[in-house]
């Protein structure tokens, strides 16, 4: 069971492409795909919806630009 993070749970997210999600982490898609696979997260085909994005954030940590937003609020 993962630890509850109120910041991640409060995020209002929209569906994203794989490249958009990789851009959040400032890595290429192939690198992010390897990290997601190592975290045992299975991605559905098509867009990555908010529930899966939150699973990724819990497993890989909050992307740098979201950490900045967290510190500014």
Question: Using one digit for the tens of pLDDT, what is the confidence trace for 11-62?
Answer: 999 999 999 999 999 999 999 999 999 999 999 999 999 999 999 999 999 9
pLDDT score of 73: 59
This prediction's pTM? 0.87
pLDDT score of 28: 97
d(CA 10, CA 27): 25
For residue 3, name the pLDDT band (cuts at 50, 70, 90).
confident
d(CA 40, CA 55): 10
pLDDT score of 69: 60
**72 C-beta neighbours (distance < 10 Å), count:** 6
């Amino acid at each position: 069971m993962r630890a509850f993070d109120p910041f991640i749970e409060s995020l209002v997210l929209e569906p994203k492409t794989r490249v958009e999600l990789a851009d959040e982490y400032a890595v290429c898609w192939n690198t992010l795909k390897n990290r997601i696979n190592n975290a045992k997260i299975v991605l559905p085909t098509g867009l990555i919806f908010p529930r899966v994005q939150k699973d990724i954030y819990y497993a890989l940590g909050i992307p740098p630009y979201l950490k900045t937003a967290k510190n500014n609020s």
